[in-house]
A = this chain, B = another copy of it.
Amino acid sequence: MSPSALAVDRRSAVPLQQQLVAAFRDAILSGRIVAGQRVLSSRELSTHLAVSRNTVVNALERLHAEGYLVTVRGVGTFVAESAYRRVPVRLHRARTALVPSRFAASALEVESLVENLDIAVPFRPGVPALDRFPAAAFKRCFDVNALAERDFDYPEALGYAPLRRAIAARLAQSRGIVVDADEILITGGAQTALAAIAQVLLDPGDRAVIEDPAYPNAVAILRAKSAAMIAVPVDEAGICVERFARRAARLAYVTPSHQYPMGWVLSLERRLKLLAWAERCGAWIVEDDYDSEFDYTGRRPPALHALAAGGRVLYVGTFSKTLAPALRIGYIIVPPELRRALRAAHAILGGAPALFVQAALARFIERGYLGRHIARMRRLYDERREAAAQALREHCAHDLCVMDAGAGLHFVALLRKGIDDRAASRLAAQSGLVVPALSSYAIERTGMNGLVVGFAATPPVRAWRAAQHLAQVL
């Protein structure tokens, strides 16, 4: 056997010994050297390859151990009879081309909505002001040395107990929701929460009510469970409960504080009707309160969970909007009947966030940093919201109509007839603006024509300039 078959690369990060083993294996498996063939001695290989004798000896030992080589004492070393040739690997791309599962197909659709986003892009929806992330305070809350041996283990299935207590206390203060810490399940963000809920509540074919237009990730998750979707239009008072009041479903997914994407707030009347419907047909309500802390009017009705005294409502919260998406922490307030199943499902899906981050966030809330940060951000976002709306009214009044419901981190701007929102969104992207087309959030609904405008991460000066660019695009 010629040692030239065993090329090694001295600039590679892979150790020489490792390379030598891999080269031998490859030569055997590909049939370039065959069973029974003699292998050069370690001395000869060392000389030919200019690799230290020790490295060669170790590599050969490894190959012996793996069963590729055998040594006959006094005769020599050979490729073992049992060293099988590798199946020829050919990538038949045509044959093996991925036929994606239904879930993968809808996941890919959603991806195209959010691909290639950069933090610096003006008007990008769904992100808080990350330039104001309180990094110093957050770092002070990290203390891995304070963690005990138990804390390096799999996290408690419900989540880190001090964090659950801190969230319960905050919910009482800021949302009027009074719950015990044991009713809270910590998740890896709102997405993980929705995925676990869908797994526990839905079997293929079960009916699920969803707002139209809707949060695309929620739609993808319902599609993943092959749910039969009942898409219900929303208006200024939120989801039109009357439209499905006589139909039964297993669950209804709603965003009452700030409908996604329209921004409308579900009225008290509709809230009560929705709860009555759920009671009547035994449905569960999933209340996604993703940006609930940002209400600039003070007029918002109480959470569904507070109105229903918890009965049939799963309340989903997240720290992605109040603090930073990078944390990946959210939570569910779970009705007692669902607690065991949801805890088990969430554990199996592997959704629990790292304990270190849970512990840091617990301290961050307990020490009052979160409350202060949110209060500051509420003022900041209120200013930015005014500035963004003002800039668009100033520069794009002819083509756009801002619909500002006074909540959340984004609003919708309706486009005048004659402008196609997908085309406008594409053109805007080319000039560096991320303003997704409203029609891309529609499920069955037609006639949606507008742009979704995020304001929280866009300072006034940049909003002004961005509005000028947008005017040119339109």
Binding site for B on A (CB under 8 A): 13-15, 18, 21-22, 25, 29, 61-62, 65-67, 82-87, 89-91, 93, 95-98, 100-104, 107-108, 110-111, 118-119, 127, 130-131, 133, 135-136, 138-139, 142-145, 147, 149-155, 157, 169, 172-173, 176, 178, 187-195, 199-204, 206, 217, 220-221, 224, 226, 268-269, 272, 275-276, 279, 282, 297-302, 306-309, 311-312, 320, 324-330, 337-338, 340-345, 347-357, 360
User: What is the chain B residue whose CB lies nearest that of A339?
Assistant: B98
Q: Which residues of B contact A21 (CB under 8 A)?
A: 176
B326 touches A153 (CB 8 A): yes
Q: Which residues of B contact A149 (CB under 8 A)?
A: 119, 130-131, 133
A97 touches B147 (CB 8 A): no
Q: Which residues of B contact A172 (CB under 8 A)?
A: 13-14, 18
Please report the C-alpha to C-alpha distance between residue A23 and residue B98 in the assembled complex, in whole angstroms. Answer: 58
CB distance from A19 to the nearest CB of B (A): 9
User: What is the chain B residue whose CB lies nearest that of A326?
Assistant: B355
Known: A93-B337, A95-B282, A301-B67. A87 touches B276 (CB 8 A): yes
User: What is the chain B residue whose CB lies nearest that of A191?
Assistant: B350
B108 touches A344 (CB 8 A): yes
A145 touches B154 (CB 8 A): no
Known: A178-B14, A302-B66, A328-B155. A104 touches B345 (CB 8 A): yes
B191 touches A188 (CB 8 A): no
Please report the C-alpha to C-alpha distance between residue A110 and residue B202 in the assembled complex, in whole angstroms. Answer: 19
Which of B138, B204, B356 touches A326 (beta carbons < 8 Å)? B356
User: What is the chain B residue whose CB lies nearest that of A25?
Assistant: B302
Q: Which residues of B contact A150 (CB under 8 A)?
A: 118-119, 130
B347 touches A152 (CB 8 A): no
B269 touches A84 (CB 8 A): yes
CB distance from A269 to the nearest CB of B (A): 6
Please report the C-alpha to C-alpha distance between residue A395 and residue B298 in the assembled complex, in whole angstroms. Answer: 70
Which of B89, B139, B157, B349 touches A192 (beta carbons < 8 Å)? B349
